[in-house]
Structure 1
Amino acid sequence: MRNENKEIAVGVVAVSALLLVLAFFYAGRSHVVGKAAAASYTLNATFNRIDGLFPGDPVRLGGIRVGTVAKAELDRNYRARLTFRMDADVRLPEDTAAAIHTDGLFGSKFVVLLAGGEDATIKPGGAITHTQDALIVSELLELIIAEGRAARAKQDAAAKAAAKEGTRP
C-alpha cells in the first residue's frame, strides 16, 4: 500500500506543478499582451494586393520593428485594407508611405514605412495614404524571362542581318 500512496503523491505533486507553471505562463502572457495593447495605437493603409502578408507580420521603420499587422480585410472597393498596431512612442508624419517587402527572394512579407518630412503627424486610427503593393516574385520572374527573350530575338535578328550582309557580292 505504501508504494501506491507514494505514486499517487508524486502524481498529484507533478500535476500541481504543471498547473502552477501554466497559470504563471498564462497570467504573464495576458499581462504582457494587455500592456502592449495599452501602449499602442492603430493605423490603416489600403493596398491593391497584399499577397503573402498576414496578421502578426511585422511593420518596420528604418529596419526596426515598430508595429505589427493587426488585421487584413477587404474595403467596399475590394481593395486590401490593413490595420497596423503601432508602438505608442512612434509618431509618423502625414506624408509617410507604406510598402510591402519580402525578406529575401522567397522570404516572409513585412510592411516597410518610409517617414515623410511633414510636421503634422497621423492621428491614431488614421490612414497612411501613400502605399506600394506587394511585388509578386512569379510576375517578376516572368518579366525577366520576357525581357531576356526579347533581347535574344534582337541579337538573333542582328546576327542574321550581319550574315546576309557578309554573303552579298
Structure 2
Amino acid sequence: MNTNSHVEIAVGLFLVLGLVAFGWLALRLGEVSWLTGGSTYTLYAEFENISGIKTGSEVQIAGVSVGSVAELHLNEDGKAIATFKLNKGIQIPKDSIASVKSQGIIGDKFIRIMPGGDETNYQSGEIIADTESSLDIESLISKFALGGVK
C-alpha cells in the first residue's frame, strides 16, 4: 500500500467516527425515548385563564426549574389545558397546587407547583386537580380606573 491509501483510510475512519458521534448526539439531545429511556414524564393541568404562558415556559418548584410547558390547548369546556414535561426524578404529591406566576412585575410567566403533603404522587398522564389561574392585571387596573373596585 502506498502513502495515499493510508491517508484515505484514516480520513474515511475519521469521517465514519464523526458521523456516528453526530448521530448519537442528535438522538441523545432529541430525547428519543425508546433509545434513551426518556428523562421526562408528562402531567396536565386545567386552568380558567393561562394568559402569558407559552410553549417552553418554565415549570418551577421552590424557584427551581423542574420542567417546561410542552403544549397548550382548550378542552371541550373552553378551559385551558397545559401539558408539562417534568424531570423524571421529581415527584408531585396528589394535593399539590399548580399556579400561573410572573417573574417580577412585568417578567415572563411560569407555572409554579406548590407540593402538598400527600403520600401518593401523580403518575405520568394524570391531571393536576388544584390550580390557580393567571392574575389579569389589565382588568384590575381598568376596574380601579373606572371605579369598579369596592
Cα 1:29/1:104, change in 2 over 3 Å:
farther
Equivalent residues in 2 for 1:1-169 (5 A)? Answer: 24=22, 28-34=25-31, 38-145=38-145
Tell me the matched-pair count. Answer: 129
**Larger RCO (alpha carbons 8 Å, 6+ apart):** 2
Give the SS at the match of 1:38: coil
| Uncovered stretches (5+) of structure 1, i.e. residues with no partner | 1-19, 152-169
Cα 1:150/1:42, change in 2 over 3 Å:
closer
Kept in 1, the 8 Å contact 2:42–2:124? The answer is yes
Cα 1:115/1:142, change in 2 over 3 Å:
same
Give the SS at the match of 1:104: coil
* 1:37, distance to aligned residue in structure 2 (A): 7.8
2:13 — aligned with what?
none
Q: Which is greater in Rg?
A: 1
Kept in 1, the 8 Å contact 2:54–2:69? The answer is yes
Q: Whole-Å Cα distance in 1 between the matches of residues 120 and 81 of structure 2? A: 23
TM-score w.r.t. structure 1 length?
A: 0.67
Cα-Cα RMSD: 2.6
Kept in 2, the 8 Å contact 1:99–1:112? The answer is yes
TM-score w.r.t. structure 2 length?
A: 0.75
Q: Whole-Å Cα distance in 2 between the matches of residues 150 and 79 of structure 1? A: 26
Q: Whole-Å Cα distance in 1 between the matches of residues 51 and 128 of structure 2? A: 19
The amino acid that maps onto 1:96 is S
Moved more, 76-85 or 27-36: 27-36
Q: Whole-Å Cα distance in 1 between the matches of residues 115 and 24 of structure 2? A: 37
Give the SS at the match of 2:92: coil
* 1:27, distance to aligned residue in structure 2 (A): 5.8
